[in-house]
Amino acid sequence: METKRKYEPAVAPVVAPAVTPERALRVVTRSERNPGTALDLDLVRALRVNRSAVERRAATIPTRRTVKKEWQAAWLLRAISCMDLTTLQGDDTPSNVLRLCAKAQHPVRQEVLDALGASPLGIKVGAVCVYHAFVPLAVEALQDSGIPVAAVSTGFPAGLNPLPQRIEEIKASAAAGASEIDVVITRAHALAGDWEALYDEVKSFREACGSAHMKVILGTGDLATLANVARASMVAMMAGADFVKTSTGKEAVNATLPVGVVMTRMIRDYHERTGHAVGFKPAGGIRVAKTALQWLILMKEELGDRWLRSDLFRLGASSLLTDIERQLEHFVTGRYSAAYRQPMV
């Protein structure tokens, strides 16, 4: 019987006396963008996925890998730094967005950071993700913070608006100050195996983004098979995706570890073929710290330490931060606090 393996991460423990801020959480700079390649239909159509093998691989992550004590605290701080703090609700208001932006800049209470010895690290989230209507407000609220604003676009979440409208929406969000655009593919292209249409669509999105980084949402819960997930991932990267993202968070099934295994292996294959590093963003259903740790472990094992920083890894989440704060406070005090002790501001 295999024993659970204690995992020592790329992040140093935040409470060890010999640890410096530079070692525990290095400054992140953006990686070189993926310029894309020509569409290789032979490669795309030849992709196959052994579903049972993928599911067995995914099942090992929560059962055989673990981080404890100060190492867990360090990993959770890393998870915060890779988080796209998100509000994509029908009842979003300017005051909600302003509170979210304030929380993004100070995601953990100061007394908890002080107790962890993590105050000098400048912990903040990877980005704030909002609807287009709130982009100018978020950009102003986050001015000089170094936190980018991400806008969901292209008829999010269904992605079924006419193509010219979706392209204009991207341009409008970029013009309003969004430095990252989360675009939605037409799932029907993947389901029908029309990879040329999907490639052309994503490439047109990339051109509309200009200098804004593009995260391509595949809507994996709608793609029916893991083979479709693999092929759609590869086509999106060939078309110039800076990130591939699992889900909108609105599908019946969102981010799952088997899908993560498939998408990270496509990222690895693309990197080996082209030398271009593409980021990964699981989103939807990631609500507790334990799940976030599983995704970090997946990234470390499948792609390596380079993909454990916010320029190449993001966690799309809205309620996750509250649970991470509770876990960090428990590490400091030995007690779990109520969720209301982790306020938005």
Catalytic residue among 84, 182, 222, 323: 182
**Using CA atoms, how far apart are residues 242 and 312, in angstroms rounded to an integer?**
9
- Catalytic, 182? Answer yes
Annotated catalytic residue, options 124, 203, 215, 245: 245
CB atoms within 10 A of CB 53: 11
- 171 catalytic, yes or no? no
Catalytically annotated residue among 281, 300, 311, 323:
281
Q: Which residues contact 192 (CB under 8 A, 6 or more apart)?
A: none
CA end-to-end span of the chain: 47
Q: With b meaning 16 or more CB within 10 Å and e meaning fewer, what string describes 215-224? A: bbbbbbbbbe
For residue 42, indicate whether it is catalytic.
Answer: no
The Cα 189–Cα 191 span in angstroms is: 6
Q: How far is CA 294 from CA 151, 258, 263, in A?
A: 26, 12, 15
Question: Are 243 and 277 contacting, i.e. CB atoms less than 8 angstroms apart?
Answer: no
Instruction: Report the catalytic residues.
Output: 182, 245, 281
